[in-house]
Homo-oligomer: A and B are copies of this chain.
Amino acid sequence: MQYSNQKRLLVAVDCIIFGFDGSEYKLLLIQRGFAPEKEKWSLMGGFVQETESLDEAANRILNQLTGLHDIYMEQIQAFSRPDRDPIERVLAIPYVALIDIEKYQRQINDNFHAHWFPLKSLPKLIFDHQEMVDLALNKLRYKAAFHPILFELLPDKFTLPQLQAMYEGLYETKIDKRNFTRKLLSTNLLKKEKEKDKSSSKKGAYYYSLDEGHYKDNFLSIHNFMPKSEIFFESN
């Protein structure tokens, strides 16, 4: 049985994959392998198959590209301009993923010609992909101000200076390290490890890890790194 006289559409999922390399944010892009816009830089995407949900499609596509599973992903809003794809109408549902760049070791999948680009200097993207990235970044800025999601970008053990650099990068602002440390530690989400990371200084910085026990019970208080006026009028 079918609903009659209604137009059916192609539905695609596009993956916006953010990484952080310790000093700047990066976006994983591929060179599109088919027409139109063949060879142009693009988000990794694919059509939703008959028996999968959007979440499943997004995970399948991310896995094809990076070989990774169980990655933090979240749906961004649908893009629906009828003419957004010149070949045929395609409804696109972008997903954001946050991954630790180290975990993605240019796996088997060189066939996609994937490349990390600094967010500050992206190449021109096909269709409305740049819009998707902008929206996703905005949403990430908004959400990270209240939710402990940026940790997804770091390895299991990380240092406070790394964490601070991540927040500073996202909000393009300087944060006083004493205030930052105090606020993050006050959440009880962090557990201090015994070892130090000496890769970026002679003295070395203590490693921390997420304290899973507290992860569910506690919460970060509000980070005011983002100007309040932006919190208010931008984003979702």
**Which residues of A does B touch, CB under 8 Å?**
1-3, 6-11, 47-55, 74-75, 77-78, 80-82, 87-91, 93, 139, 143, 146-148, 216, 218-222, 228-229, 231-233, 236
Contact = CB atoms under 8 A, between A and B. Distances in A.
B50 A1 contact: no
Contacts of A89: 50
B80 A53 contact: yes
A57 to B, nearest CB: 8
Closest 5 CB pairs of A and B: A219-B232, A8-B8, A54-B80, A53-B80, A219-B229
Is chain A's interface secondary structure helix, strand, loop, or mixed overall? loop
A232 B140 CA distance: 14
A107 to B, nearest CB: 26
16 contacts: A1-B88, A2-B88, A3-B10, A6-B47, A7-B50, A9-B9, A9-B10, A9-B11, A53-B82, A54-B80, A75-B77, A75-B78, A143-B236, A219-B233, A222-B222, A222-B231
Nearest to A47: B6
Contact of A50 (B11, B54, B82, B91): B82
B54 A78 contact: yes
A156 to B, nearest CB: 21
